[in-house]
Structure 1
């Protein structure tokens, strides 16, 4: 029994009740959203440490963080340290994108230690295992791919990114399309190489019902990946991207009919004035399925600051209806992120998510800002730090840059506007 099938039967599951409690909405609101497919609750039956979180319409905007080994940095202990940063920094999901070291062992440990939803991209491991066993990634078969998919799901992964929309028809359109960066999705590029080499259809598309059966067995949420997402502004919203999205919309329908939860992934690099249109197109073609976007990044020229370019785009996307933001770190386009990069990326995306939630009217969003405003008026530094998006950073800056027990801050010193106005108006500060 998946969350979706239970919701359609009128059943409010413990996971739905927990999501409702966190979101300050009624359990029935969550159940209706899950039944309609506009809310998903990634909750694999084998992920025992999970504290369920909902993603979708009417809920607060969520943030994902990526971790995982590479061939250059295969140490899983390093990634488990990053997981603790992810949890402490307040991300709502984590994806293990490992491509090096003991991938199975690392994934199991991440699932054991994570209280938030865990996602993976099984095709990475399927191709890498074939390279190790047979000397070529192209040697992978459909059976190899589905064996890895089931392995991930059986281990307790809550959602899987699968590039089902990269079809021979879509690739034919890509060949006719002039793109600067072609394909920047790693999974999309692996599949494209395999399909063009063998002249065969994408197994994830051709055997989609088999994929649905696996997800149904473990209640795994499909995250339908955008293998043709734009890798630069010039490639945004082109025919190849939209053709793939049309296919994904059809696959959302098939997943829902089967009782499998599904969300859809989106771009990528998108000019600021095209972001809202991208969200509207997705929501229309995919019938309101939760939308999971990478950024989007609004310029291509900011290596080292791409967490900021993504936060700008993420705010616009979420305000327009995107439900789930994949973080981007300062190391994007440059190298594997370290723990500081992970934290900065999460905070930038959480900031974008909250700014959008204020526009969406999400319960509790404006109340948080109002509490902070009152604390500032009262020069209540303890409360301000407690309410801060990143209390650790706020406390550190406050301590480092102000004299001990100084009521105002060193920016204004004796000329604190809050203090001066209160004195001249004869007002006493009030408690929150």
Structure 2
């Protein structure tokens, strides 16, 4: 596995002020300007540039990495320190429990599986909940430092070079100077931004997605019935992080989806998302009409307790709308949407994703 940093670059860690955190970034060494550029005709040294870095420890040669053990649980202390989660004695998902005892998968199982965490009864462990209570979590301060890329330090030394024309904001409300932890908290509290950070994915480095923050890029990976292996999927995940993927989606549709996802989760420094209906379909041997709410719900819990940070759920495909797709040139182009459309037509019932959406939200609230 590639461990070297990028050319002319090194991993640096910026300390927090509100919390004892260290934010990973990439510092790029800049060469001197050509002679004659300055006043005295000699080469002019330039300051280094700090940029956002999604590669986690994979570009830090000082870190020990063993994919069989997984990454260090960066956020574990923060999560447990809030006192609102409990460790479960076993997985809540029936499928996850059954998978744990299958002799056929023992050879490919991840070896260091932790017991899952869940919110205590009556507790809310989402970053939005903390934000609305006025709390600045370590995740929020981490994000503020990360989004700034040390621009607050540069502003004092570069002076007029930091000026820019405000232009047309098109509704954005980005601070003119730099992002603060308070700004991160307020944007999350208002619902304009999200921090995907499942309590069962402590290996992830906090990041934010929202209108007033840096643009984020997702990378899709996943096996199929035709090709790929666990080794290849972990390699894809690592390469995606190294080359700038802010999040990863595991869209696996082949064999051993649960086991493959565990390896990805434990070795991913970025949030991981899924489309749960894909795995639910595999559980019924590809027959969409055989999916039930109970199977889908169990799949949500299974994935949430593994640490999946966000879901794609096609809850907007309603029975009454399906006929509108009949004359479309390309029909329904969404795989998940077509699965749910087939289910609705087969049963002539409203989508169970729509009718059970409140319970879906309660499940996600328990794991963030």
Name the TM tier (shorter chain): 0.5 to 0.7
> What's 1:207 paired with?
356
Corresponding position: 1:124 with 2:278? yes
Paired residues of 1:33 and 1:57 also in contact (CA < 8 A): no
> What's 2:194 paired with?
40
Corresponding position: 1:4 with 2:134? no
> What's 1:181 paired with?
330
- TM-score under structure 1 length normalisation: 0.49
- Could you tell me which of 295, 303, 322 is aligned with 1:152? 303
Alignment map for 1:18-417 (pairs within 5 Å)? 18-24=142-148, 25-131=179-285, 136-175=287-326, 178-219=327-368
Aligned Cα root-mean-square deviation (Å)? 1.1
Query: Which sections of structure 2, spanning at least 5 residues, go unmatched?
Result: 1-124, 149-178
> What's 1:16 paired with?
140
Paired residues of 1:68 and 1:76 also in contact (CA < 8 A): no
Distance in 1 between residues matched to 2:263 and 2:298, nearest whole Å: 20
Paired residues of 1:76 and 1:101 also in contact (CA < 8 A): no
SS at match of 2:249: strand
Distance in 1 between residues matched to 2:228 and 2:357, nearest whole Å: 32
Paired residues of 1:74 and 1:101 also in contact (CA < 8 A): no
Structure with more contact order per residue of length (Cα contacts < 8 Å, sep ≥ 6): 2
Distance in 1 between residues matched to 2:320 and 2:146, nearest whole Å: 43
Paired residues of 2:251 and 2:274 also in contact (CA < 8 A): yes
1:74: Cα distance to partner?
4.1
Paired residues of 1:42 and 1:54 also in contact (CA < 8 A): yes
Paired residues of 2:288 and 2:340 also in contact (CA < 8 A): no
Query: Which sections of structure 1, spanning at least 5 residues, go unmatched?
Result: 220-432
> What's 2:108 paired with?
none
Distance in 1 between residues matched to 2:191 and 2:284, nearest whole Å: 36
SS at match of 1:153: helix
Distance in 2 between residues matched to 1:127 and 1:102, nearest whole Å: 13
Distance in 2 between residues matched to 1:102 and 1:79, nearest whole Å: 12
* CA displacement 1:237-259 (0-9 Å, x = unmatched): xxxxxxxxxxxxxxxxxxxxxxx
Distance in 2 between residues matched to 1:37 and 1:170, nearest whole Å: 28
Paired residues of 2:249 and 2:272 also in contact (CA < 8 A): yes
Instruction: Write 1 or 2 for the structure with the bigger share of helix.
Output: 1
Distance in 2 between residues matched to 1:59 and 1:170, nearest whole Å: 35
Distance in 2 between residues matched to 1:3 and 1:22, nearest whole Å: 17
1:130: Cα distance to partner?
0.6
Paired residues of 2:209 and 2:215 also in contact (CA < 8 A): yes
1:142: Cα distance to partner?
1.0
Distance in 2 between residues matched to 1:139 and 1:169, nearest whole Å: 21
Divergent runs of 4+, >2 A: 172-175
* CA displacement 1:203-254 (0-9 Å, x = unmatched): 11100011011000000xxxxxxxxxxxxxxxxxxxxxxxxxxxxxxxxxxx
Distance in 2 between residues matched to 1:26 and 1:147, nearest whole Å: 39
Aligned pair count reads 214
> What's 1:265 paired with?
none
> What's 1:350 paired with?
none
- TM-score under structure 2 length normalisation: 0.57
SS at match of 1:42: coil
